[in-house]
Structure 1
């Protein structure tokens, strides 16, 4: 499994928009759901009331994620721009939980 973890600081006034965008029926899940290699998205809130969230996208492999994003770059970039309107900052962290053995 490969996970892409995003830390987002959400604008207070845009919280509802953010939650709809990233919920299980939101635009990101619909977009990634076009790939059979996509395994789901989890959204976690910091619990401090500071508008910090982690968005965790799960994929079968890093290669599957990269190929999907590359093959749909224009659509991906459009969604990124729409999502950016709801957040102050966004930081990506890559974690490969089960590296393939050579």
Structure 2
């Protein structure tokens, strides 16, 4: 999970790149362990903050993706840095087991 501070003038481009059908999701879909992406925009205090949740079948599936596509991942990450003012990694979660 990541939180992004996005300039209002870049919102639509950010949403196109980071949304569930966006450019990041296209890259992630190359991995069989990718489940999907959810993009949320805050509606309280400021609409300039987004939460991006990329879902994977397991942490190992994500690590396998990074091992196979790490170079592309880093290159694309560098290309899109101008779409946001700040990026904060909030951590990784897994579903609760009962």
Please report the TM-score for the alignment, with normalisation by the length of structure 1: 0.83
Stretches (4+) displaced over 3 A: none
Higher relative strand content: 1
Structure 1: which 5+ runs fail to align?
Answer: none
Q: Is the 8 A contact 2:20 2:39 kept in 1?
A: no
Please report the TM-score for the alignment, with normalisation by the length of structure 2: 0.87
> Equivalents in 1 of 2:52, 2:30: separation in Å?
18
Structure 2: which 5+ runs fail to align?
Answer: none
What is the CA distance between 1:99 and its match in structure 2? 7.4
- 1:2-50, Cα deviation, whole Å (9 max, x unpaired): xxx0100012221111011112321101000111110000001111334
Q: Which residue of 13, 16, 20 corresponds with 2:12?
A: 16
SS in 1 for 2:31: coil
Q: CA RMSD in A?
A: 1.7
Of structures 1 and 2, the one with the larger relative CO (CA 8 A, separation 6+) is: 1
